Chains A and B, each alone.
Chain A
Amino acid sequence: MAAMTMIQALRSAMDVMLERDPNVVVFGQDVGYFGGVFRCTEGLQAKHGSARVFDAPISEGGIVGAAVGMGAYGLRPVAEIQFADYFYPASDQIVSEAARLRYRSVGDFTAPITIRMPCGGGIYGGQTHSQSPEALFTHVCGLRTLMPSNPYDAKGLLISAIECDDPVIFLEPKRLYNGPFDGHHDRPIVPWSAHALGEVPDGHYRVALESAAVFRAGRALTVLTYGTMVFVSEAAAIETGIDAEIIDLRSLWPLDLAAIVNSVKKTGRCVIVHEATRTCGFGAELAALVQEHCFYHLEAPIERVTGWDTPYPHALEWDYFPGPARVAAALRRAMEP
């Protein structure tokens, strides 16, 4: 075990997989010699060589299209999109190609590729470096969409993603790269070294796909969330004193429906929290699933706390971000009889 940031944990996952499987390759913009703008691939080219860890032209469509071809060949490419906000030029290759290649060819060809992309705001990135586009991926049949919230899960899930034979969208909440950010942006940064989930095994291990984690056990109310909002929700629970059970979904789709249903049936109340815009966000699907499966157990309307339906603003970032105060207000509303 070692204390790792999320960046170090992700790097360790790629390092372990490059070591174990000669078919793993890592590429993307700036990921080679330099090691990535967030340093997630630092040192990997020097260690594994430039035929397996290399820079790509500034072409997201090209990066994913080439990854699909490599996957069809038999490699397991790990492609980095520098910011999730930049994936749009690759949409056709993700939605029409990677996600449906197995289906349309009846397994003759597959795309066992992992597409990593940093997402979320809170770093003054403005409207082109802050988005959380997970719902655009969860809507696509054939993709797996993951979002870890801590170094331990980040490494174990990335290893599972690379080993998975399906195409995986791996969203990394960049505000969590260096510490468990709880939404109090005016307070000192807490490093991962001060958190239990920053303790990460050095070698190979997996975190199972389609498996949610009970991040905080509770009996009064269920919070369904993922990524940065796990820690924001925890702060809100502590500050309100509400005995909230926080479910960290980790795998957004396909997801761990049993974990959701079991918790909501137990608590009878549900708050859904995500950073992405509200309308047709992933929270809408979660709310629909909860009412389909838990309707007779619900004692209050389902609450959603999300980003506003606006582009991610620069100067007003913290008014956009669904921080602990907004989550706390939703927890209190959900507790009204």
Chain B
Amino acid sequence: MASQPQPQRQEQALRLHVPEPSARPGQHTDFSYLHLSDAGAVRRPPIDVAPADTHDLATALVRVLGEDGCAHGPWVPPLAPEQLVRGLRAMLKTRIFDARMLIAQRQKKMSFYIQSLGEEAIACAHALALVDGDMCFPTYRQQGLLLARDDVPLVPLICQLLSNERDPLKGRQLPVMYSMKRAGFFSISGNLATQFIQAVGWAMASAIKGDTKIASAWIGDGATAEADFHTALTFAHVYRAPVILNVVNNQWAISTFQAIAGGEGTTFAGRGVGCGIASLRVDGNDFLAVYAASSWAAERARGNLGPTLIEWISYRAGPHSTSDDPSKYRPADDAARFPLGDPIARLKTHLIALGAWSEEQHAALQRELETEIGAAQKEAERFGTLADGHAPPLASMFEDVYREMPPHLHAQLRQLQEAKG
């Protein structure tokens, strides 16, 4: 019997690829993996561009502010210097607020805190591109969306962080998990990615009703691995939902490098193009680029042109949270060596180059904001901190589980009250 022809056998053992960052503590990160474009080098298509024709924009990097401190190219937004100063103020306010609250956490006045250090431009510039009635579905690192607004007082935010008797969320949520419908800020879950598809549903509702409001969804690079990210892209594309899908790629999800989320050799913006969604990859530390891309996406959504996915390239300069220690897993000098720099420093340099700002004005603004935030903190602490037992009343634990408290929860509240004496 003639033998069957055999395919040539491969004798090489198979290997599992587990991505690694280019450097660990004590080494220097090779940031060439970021694939940067020069400021002004990337085209700005018309807002009715076909999603498939944004493929190059999902791999390049939209940048406006150059090394020279000047604005370059087709994405330069029509922002007056006063608006830029407003943006600088919002970013600085966010940074000072974060720093103050971090200290308060170290003083055990609150259980937990999450800073947005180094990522302030993304939320603060995006907020300027939205209007009242729009709704953001944020993660826990977009406090800049609130702090950029003039109509959000600091005291209730700090009371939330302190879980005190004036906590608008009655001590039910971890610090930073704000909810503020009137400021277009959806309740933060803490379970990752769930808000991404909810934002799409909210945007679909606006379209179903024939309203004009748009949604803006937020997610980190790490959580794009969740199913809710992919369902959000599918639903947003299928129903052409008026939503902006923001992926904040700050390189790290707690201790895992963005390659573990699937960023190696590709981009998160590329996910959008694959789903039929117009997509951009943008310098998230460039206030002007963030504003320009956000406005482009918002205009598309308002024009019934459908969703836009934007990958914001940034760097998480601080720990993931107050429960994290990044010195254990990444080089300590990463943030300083990150090629896109610091968003506040870059906008400040630009404003000074424009002749619209000075070191003296900057120092004065910093002092003014420190005073404002310090006063708000002092005021909030009058209503207690987590440390001094000014917790909300017991009954509040049982309220709002349902619209009306059902009999079994009344009974359980009585049991608790009796047990406490």
Do the beta carbons of B201 and A66 come within 8 Å of each other?
Answer: yes
Given contacts A89-B227, A141-B401, contact A70 B191 (CB under 8 A): no
Whole-angstrom CA separation of A54 from B197 in the bound complex: 17
Bound complex: CA of A72 vs CA of B170, how far in Å? 20
Give the contact stretch, choosing among A94-102, A173-181, A302-310: A94-102
The reply to whether A104 and B197 form a contact with Cβ atoms under 8 Å apart is no
Do residues B402 and A65 form an inter-chain contact, with CB atoms below 8 A? no
- How far is it, in angstroms, between the C-alpha of A67 and the C-alpha of B231 when the chains are bound? 13
What 0/1 readout, one digit per residue, does chain B (168-204) give for beta carbons within 8 Å of chain A?
1110110001011100001101010010111111111
Residues of the B chain whose Cβ atoms lie less than 8 Å from the Cβ of A67: 201
Q: Tell me if A92 counts as interface (CB < 8 A to partner B).
A: yes
Chain B residues with CB under 8 Å of A257's CB are 407-408
Q: Is A311 an interface residue (CB 8 A)?
A: no
Contacts of B135 in A (CB 8 A): 72-73
A52 within 8 A of B: yes
Residues of chain A contacted by B406 (CB below 8 angstroms): 210, 254
Is there a chain A Cβ closer than 8 Å to B205's Cβ? yes
Of the candidates A51, A72, A108, the one whose C-beta lies within 8 Å of that of B208 is A51
Quick check: is B17 within 8 A (CB to CB) of the other chain?
Answer: no
* A268 contacts B by Cβ under 8 Å: no
A74, B179: Cβ atoms under 8 Å?
no
Could you tell me if B201 and A57 are in contact, using CB atoms closer than 8 angstroms?
Answer: no
CB distance from B233 to the nearest CB of A (A): 10
Chain A residues with CB below 8 A from B238, complex form: 57
Question: Is A103's CB under 8 angstroms from B408's CB?
Answer: no
The reply to whether B228 and A65 form a contact with Cβ atoms under 8 Å apart is yes
Determine the interface band of chain B, counting residues with CB < 8 A from chain A. Answer: 35 or more
Chain B residues, Cβ within 8 Å of A104:
169, 172-173, 177, 179, 187, 189
Q: How does the 8 Å CB contact mask read for B123-148 relative to A, with 1 for contact and 0 for none? A: 00000000000010100000000000
Q: Which residue of A lies closest to B187 (CB)?
A: A105
Determine the residue in chain B with the shortest Cβ distance to A57: B234
Give Cα A165–Cα B207 distance, bound, in whole angstroms.
22
**Number of A-B contacts defined by CB within 8 Å:** 139
A247 at the binding interface (Cβ < 8 Å): no
Counting chain B CB atoms within 10 Å of each CB, the highest count among A96, A108, A254 belongs to: A108
Band of interface residues on A? 35 or more
Which residues in window 91-119 of A have CB below 8 A to B?
92-93, 96-97, 101-110
Question: How many Å from the CB of B180 to the closest CB on chain A?
Answer: 7
A93-B194, A106-B169, A141-B401 known; A62+B234 contact, CB < 8 A: yes
Asked whether B255 is an interface residue with its Cβ less than 8 Å from the other chain, the reply is no
Bound: A68/B232 CA distance, A: 13
Q: Does B403 contact A (CB under 8 A)?
A: yes
Asked whether A281 is an interface residue with its Cβ less than 8 Å from the other chain, the reply is no
In the complex, the answer to whether A107 meets B198 with C-beta atoms within 8 Å is no
A46-68 interface mask toward B, CB cutoff 8 Å, 1 = contact, 0 = none?
00000110001101011001111
A59 touches B177 (CB 8 A): no
- Is A142 a contact of B401 with CB atoms below 8 Å? yes
Q: Confirm or deny: B338 has a beta carbon within 8 angstroms of a beta carbon on chain A.
A: no
User: Would you call B202 and A70 a contact (CB within 8 A)?
Assistant: yes
A191 within 8 A of B: no
Asked if A65 contacts B194 (CB within 8 A), the reply is yes
* A25 in the interface (beta carbon within 8 A): yes
A80, CB-defined interface residue at 8 Å: no
Docked-complex contact A69 and B407, CB < 8 angstroms: no
Q: Is the beta-carbon distance between A69 and B200 smaller than 8 angstroms?
A: yes
Does chain A have a CB within 8 A of B235? yes
Q: Please measure, in the bound complex, the distance between the C-alpha atom of A291 and the C-alpha atom of B189, giving whole angstroms.
A: 38
The verdict on A134 contacting chain B, using a C-beta distance below 8 Å, is no
> With a CB–CB cut-off of 8 A, which chain A residues contact B402?
102, 142, 144, 166, 254
* Contact of B235 (CB < 8 Å), options: A57, A73, A110, A141: A57
A65 and B199 CA atoms in complex are apart in Å by 9
Q: Is the CB of A107 within 8 A of B400?
A: yes
Report the separation of the CA atoms of residues A127 and B293 in the bound assembly, to the nearest whole angstrom.
49
The residues of A that contact B256 with a CB separation of less than 8 Å are none
Q: Are A165 and B206 in contact (CB under 8 A)?
A: no
B residues in contact with A108, CB < 8 Å: 179-181, 187
Once bound together, how far apart are the Cα atoms of A65 and B230, in whole Å?
A: 12
Q: How far is the CA of A254 from the CA of B403 in the complex (A)?
A: 12
Cβ of A213 under 8 Å from chain B: no
Contact B202 A72 (CB under 8 A): yes
Chain B residue, CB-CB nearest to A258: B407
Q: Give Cα distance in the complex from A69 to B231, angstroms.
A: 13
Residues 200-251 (chain B) with a chain A CB within 8 angstroms: 200-209, 215, 227-228, 231-232, 234-235, 238
In angstroms, how far is the closest chain B Cβ from the Cβ of A292? 10
| Interface contact A101-B187, CB-CB below 8 Å | yes
Q: Are B199 and A166 in contact (CB under 8 A)?
A: no
- How many angstroms from the CA of A201 to the CA of B198 in the assembled complex? 36
Residues on the A chain within 8 Å of B401, using CB: 102-103, 141-142
Most chain A CB atoms below 10 A, which of B198, B228, B232: B198
Give A73 to B209 CA distance when docked, in angstroms: 10
Closest to A255 in B: B408
Q: Which of A51, A56, A96, A106 has the most CB of B within 10 A?
A: A106
Write out the residue numbers on chain A whose beta carbons fall within 8 Å of the beta carbon of B208.
25, 51-52, 70, 75
Looking at the complex, which one of B168, B181, B194, B408 makes contact with A97 (CB distance below 8 Å)? B194
Given A109-B181, A109-B186, A254-B407; A65-B205 close (CB under 8 Å): no
Decide: B232 and A62 in contact? CB cutoff 8 A.
yes
A89 to B197, CA, bound (A): 13
Check B181 against A69 for contact (C-beta < 8 Å): no
Report the minimal beta-carbon distance from B364 to chain A, rounded to whole angstroms. Answer: 36
B145 to chain A, nearest CB (A): 15
The 9 lowest CB-CB distance pairs between A and B, nearest first, are A69-B201, A66-B201, A65-B197, A62-B231, A73-B205, A105-B187, A69-B198, A69-B202, A254-B406
A-B contact pairs, 6 of them (CB 8 A): A25-B205, A65-B231, A69-B201, A96-B191, A104-B169, A165-B403
The chain A residues found within 8 Å of chain B, CB to CB, are 25, 51-52, 56-57, 59, 61-62, 65-75, 77, 89, 92-93, 96-97, 101-110, 141-142, 144, 164-166, 210, 254, 257
- Given A66-B204, A105-B179, 12 more contacts at CB 8 Å? A51-B207, A57-B231, A59-B235, A61-B227, A72-B198, A75-B205, A102-B401, A104-B179, A106-B169, A106-B170, A106-B179, A108-B181
